[in-house]
Amino acid sequence: MALVPIPSTSSVAAAAGNVAHKLLYGGLADLRPMPRTLIDEGILREVYHYRPLAGVDQAGDPILLVTPLAAPSSCFDLRRGCSLVEHLLQQGRPVYLVEYGEVSFRNRTLGMEHWVEEVVPLAVEAVARHAGGDNIHVAAWSLGGIFALLASADRQDLPIGTISIYGSPIDVSEVPLIAPLRPLIDLTGGRIISGVTDLLGGAPKPFVRWAFQLSAAQKMVTKPVAQLNHLGDADYLAQLEAVDRFTEGMIAYPGRAFGQLYHRFVRRNELVGGTWELDDRTIKLSSITQPVLVFAGATDGIAPIPAVRAVVPLLSGSPEVYFEIVPGGHLGMLTGRSARTSSWLIMDEFMEAHDGIKRKPVQRTGARKAESTEKLPSTRAGGQRKPVARKSAAKKPAAVKGGAAEKTIGSNPNRRYNSANSRALGQPRGTGQPTSSRDGQPS
């Protein structure tokens, strides 16, 4: 018969303190957002500049954070102590964010082209004007990553220096959550869901919230037990509170955009071939000429590893492509407790290696699309890409095979999770093994 371990006096005291704090003050998480200022706005487009931290010197090129549809911007600023925005500001990096505000019935005619042609490009240009730079790092989560990739491929004249995407599913046939629905979708031709969303003008908030929660159904079932087992861990409990606040803040999908996602992504899996038909043209992911960093979450149910990894061979025009498997689910990989020692530090090294690189502008020849085959000099071909010096404890990326000028990320020996899964574009797919959390605590 197994004996139940007796909790120590200190753990009992910590649990009692946490419960008392929650009862007296309503929670343990510090949910204050990082201060920011609105610098540009338009239809479902609000661009913010986060105020620099006092006493921290500004260093490095600006970063623009791109949110997905339906998700609140708190995905990047979850809580104090576990906020990607706060982390970037502590590094001294200028931080900007684009979010979309509340979606209403009057927005029902807006499709993905609005974000690809208008929202992301105008946000990048607003950051360039405000920061006075021509090398903007872009980091985007989930569908925001797809927007960033398509906008960059379509607008090669934009001053984008690098692109980092978190959990963006390119091959939706690899998403297990969709598999049980495919027989119904095929049988009805998608008419049932389309009819409902057309009537409502989009996917309403409760539906979006339910769909996100469904992806973590197992965690929801075990959540009460997990809370009891971690009553003495204030950081664990604070993370749960912050994730609950994030989930409650879900936003509706505009009708046309939801219809495109449903029919073109879910039903027909159109992006898996690397092209996207938009208005009168075809956007090709192979047109992207910036270095790209791709993150997949080891336990992501919404965008599992194979669904995300499918983008790697499609980025044939990029001089550098890295693929990283990091701890966490769909949200946890971006802003979970393990992200502080994995994905955040990897992205830090990636951006530092490409700070201060002046891109030669590509001239646009059409009203919307630039026709050019110009590429950045590849580091594998010996192009000089000297990163600027920054005040940071992170070690410089180390050289790997392919020439002295080629860089790799993930060489920081102080990071708890190594970067053994980083892939150069030309290396074979499918050789990386998922990196999992050591402590099994919430992402």
pLDDT tens readout for residues 223-269: 555 555 556 577 788 898 999 888 888 776 676 777 788 778 778 89
Quote the percentage of the chain above a pLDDT of 90: 44
pLDDT of residue 349: 97
Residue 349 lies in a domain: yes
Task: Note the pLDDT tens digit of each residue in 306-343.
Answer: 999 999 999 999 999 999 999 999 999 999 999 999 99
Q: How confident is the model at residue 210 (pLDDT cuts 50, 70, 90)?
A: very low
Query: For position 441, what pLDDT does the model report?
Result: 40
Within 13 Å, how many C-alpha atoms sit on residue 234's CB side? 14
The CATH code of the domain that includes 278 is 3.40.50.1820
- CA distance to 50, 63, 86, 90, per residue, from 55 (Å): 15, 20, 14, 10
**Residue 386 counted as domain residue:** no
Three-state DSSP class for residue 309: helix
Please report whether residue 46 resides in a domain: yes
How high is the mean pLDDT of the chain? Answer: 74
Residue 365: band (very low, low, confident or very high) from pLDDT cuts 50, 70, 90: very low
287 against 201, higher pLDDT:
287
Backbone angles phi, psi at 48, to 5 degrees: -120, 145
Residue 275 has pLDDT above 90, yes or no: yes
Contact (CB, 8 A) for 383 and 319: yes
3-class SS of residue 277: strand
Within-domain flag for 236: yes
CA distance 378 to 319: 5
Question: How many CB atoms are located within 10 Å of the residue 185 CB?
Answer: 17
For residue 336, being part of any structural domain is answered with: yes
Residue 431 lies inside a defined structural domain of this protein: no
Q: Using an 8 Å Cβ cutoff, are 442 and 82 in contact?
A: no
352: pLDDT strictly greater than 80: yes
Range of the domain at 210: 32-355
pLDDT band at 20 (very low <50, low <70, confident <90, very high): low
Nearest to 62 by CA among 34, 37, 94, 97: 94
Any domain includes 438: no
Q: Give the count of beta carbons closer than 10 Å to the beta carbon of residue 240.
A: 18
Pairing of strands 63-66, 136-141: parallel
Dist CA 360 CA 218 (whole Å):
49
195: pLDDT strictly greater than 60: no
CA separation for the pair 319, 291 (Å, rounded): 6
Torsion of the alpha carbons at 341, 94, 135 and 352, rounded to the nearest 10: -30
- What is the rounded average pLDDT of the residues 180-197? 48
- Predicted confidence at residue 425, as pLDDT, reads 34
Query: Could you give the number of structural domains in the chain?
Result: 1
- Comparing CA positions, the residue from 137, 159, 158, 429 lying closest to residue 292 is 137
63 membership: H or E segment, kind and range: strand 63-66
184-188, 346-350, 406-410, 437-441, range with greatest mean pLDDT = 346-350
Tokens of 285: 């992911």
How far apart (Å, rounded) are the C-alpha atoms in residues 62 and 92?
10
Inside any domain, residue 15? no
Q: Report which of residues 77 and 433 the model is more confident about.
A: 77
